[in-house]
Structure 1
């Protein structure tokens, strides 16, 4: 169902046929990078956190970025607590390994981390453990209906990877 809901989501922009489905797993950043043939940094990973009132929030980051707990708390006003596997499925409709900000079961707040802005294009998952789509940063922001850009990650600033197509 998840992959279908994502394709339906992309049909609003006639992009459903751009969803890539693979024979091999793209469930982790490294698997996705190997399957697609790009550096791991360009995989747009979607992380699920417990927000206020038990409503999840999603933060999409570059593949090489890690959540910085201090920055997260400063941005959102509470501690970064990731959802359990069951909570992720319940809140997003997507299983771990296919979580993305598209075709969601519930309307959730979505944030894009600045770590993504180094790239012209990135590859987020599409609701399954063997799917992705190539999007520009502007398309990612538009198609995800992201609330805002945030700075809640660390570990990527040292990278010499800049604006890779």
Structure 2
């Protein structure tokens, strides 16, 4: 891999998990990092997942959903065993994960947070998620993503 690795890529290498790295030139004018990855890499949008940090009953929790979907906060709260969820503010998400917005990976986060992966991920042999910086996507089997993050799998996309 050209350039510096990330905690996400380090975790995958350490655990010897089969994966592929996909890099592209990030355009800072883009508003949707996930859709930028879809266009740059020429892949189906439903296979590219975004990582969102939310607060479920005051506890930070990560939701991983397709880039074309919204995170259903009520479904996330239920899947995480809580009652109410709201998106965390950007500074909180960046501080907790150690990643910048647009590069938040569900893998290798600074603080290990509970993760819920949308059930649609299991429809594919491989899915894409952020590699820990803008312009870097990791392709891996959804079951590996779930195992590495200790995720719950539930329908959380709206």
Root mean square deviation, CA, Å: 2.4
**d(CA) in 2 for partners of 1:17, 1:116:** 15
TM-score (norm 2): 0.82
Following superposition, the deviation at residue 10 of structure 1 comes to 1.3
- How many residues end up aligned between the 2 structures? 151
SS at match of 2:65: strand
Q: Who is 2:20 aligned against?
A: 18
In the alignment, the residues of structure 2 paired with residue 110 and residue 132 of structure 1 have an alpha-carbon distance, to the nearest angstrom, of: 18
Gaps of 5+ in 2: none
Tell me which of 51, 64, 67 is aligned to 2:68: 64
Partner secondary structure for residue 19 of structure 1: strand
Q: Is the 8 A contact 1:72 1:78 kept in 2?
A: no
5+ residue gaps, structure 1, are 155-165
Matched, 1:122 2:127: yes
Distance change in 2, residues 1:80/1:122 (3 Å): same
Task: Check if 1:85 corresponds to 2:87.
Answer: no
Task: Please give the residue correspondences for 1:102-141 in structure 2 after superposition, counting only pairs within 5 Å.
Answer: 102-141=107-146
